[in-house]
Amino acid sequence: MPLKLNSTNGSVTISAEDGSGNVDVTIPRSSLAGLDSPALTGTPTAPTATASTNNTQIATTAYVDGAVINLVDSAPATLDTLNELAAALGDDANFSTTVTNNIATKMPLSGGVFTGNVTFDGNVKAQFGQSNDLQIYHDGSNSIISDQGTGDLNIQSSGSMRLQNAAGTQNYLFAADGGAVQLHHAGNVKISTTSTGADVTGTLTADGVTVDGTLDIEEVYEKFVTSGTTSGTATVNTTEYAIIYYTANQTANRTINFSNVNANLATGQSLTCSVLMTQGSTAYYLNAYQVDGTAVTPKWSGGSAPTAGNASGIDVYTFTIIKTADATFTVLASQTQYA
């Protein structure tokens, strides 16, 4: 069946001949899409290309929708549009440069140099060592350097070392490299080491002093105590004093007991005590002797123990107690009258 195509300005006619005559179909031009930039109406369809297609093939809605889904992937709803992504980046068109510049201001883990002050809040610790062995912090009331690890805390200096007040105007402690170590009080040196020992400026008060070597004394001030008792056992506390002065006239012969001797003395050491007994017109004397409550027999100067005191005067007894073994003593004694 031959077809004929007739075109006019307003329409296109398609003619066909069959046994009964001509059949004409006329289509207005406005219903036809041109070859150059055709404008299709209705719901035209086309084959959907695979996701990997990259040519001039028509992209269907299914293809475009699949491409968009692949682009969004599993992004959260708050970051699945370009606008949301831009907002998340602070609408910064130079975001990469901004981040790079910011990172350049941070201290790398491998170390570096701070160019400004570093401030730690209260109770925030600067910690050193794998187990935080050394900690430096302020607890809100006090500044603390805490060594929690094994080993020693060493403070090293290539020059002198000072512990000072906050203003840096007074030393608490000064240590010179290879020289003296000084302890200060109110800015003044009180104890200073020397190549031969130490110098003390002022009065040294001590519960006890052990001298291993020669003792060179320029002046000695000894402590004594007084007592108003006139009878009974007279006790000398050798921990607190070495001289006791009984200021009232004695009314009876008395026992003298030296306490805290064995605890204070090592074997091979000795101590000396003096006992001053005031006598009235009737004189009395010390006639029994004890060390730590145990009776002892002194060895007397002149060979004999006193048998009386001296009236209207002061009898001074001197006892040197020598420790020869545990709780074992040799006692040397003398009596002198002062009128």
Mean pLDDT by 10 residues, the chain (339 residues): 67 70 72 77 86 87 81 83 89 93 90 91 93 94 93 92 93 94 94 92 83 83 93 96 97 98 96 97 97 98 95 97 98 96
Give the C-alpha separation, 336 to 311, whole Å: 13
**Single-letter code of the amino acid located at 142:** N
Hey, which residues does 333 pair with through a beta bridge? 300, 319
For residue 330, the cross-strand partners are 322
What's the confidence (pLDDT) of residue 260? Answer: 97
Which ranges in the chain belong to alpha helices (H)? 61-72, 82-88, 95-103, 261-264
What are the structural domain ranges in the chain?
1-29, 51-91, 161-200, 224-338
**Cβ atoms < 10 Å from Cβ of 234:** 20
Residue 165 pLDDT: 93
Tell me how far apart the alpha carbons of residues 290 and 256 are, in angstroms, rounded to a whole number.
6
Residue 208 is predicted with a pLDDT of 75
Nearest to 228 by CA among 243, 249, 242: 249
Q: Is 197 within 8 Å of 215 (Cβ atoms)?
A: no
Spell out the SS3 assignment of 135-183.
EEEECCCCEEEEECCCCCCCCCCCCCEEEECCCCCCEEEEECCCCCEEE
pLDDT for res 18: 66
- Which residues make Cβ contacts (< 8 Å) with residue 89, sequence separation at least 6? 95
- Taking the C-alpha atoms of residue 143 and residue 128, their distance in angstroms, rounded to an integer, is 17
Token digits of residue 217: 């004394």
User: Residue 281: which of 307, 308, 311 has the closest Cα?
Assistant: 311
Number of residues that this document lists for the chain: 339
Instruction: Confirm if 261 and 290 have CB atoms less than 8 A apart.
Output: no
The pLDDT of residue 81 is: 87
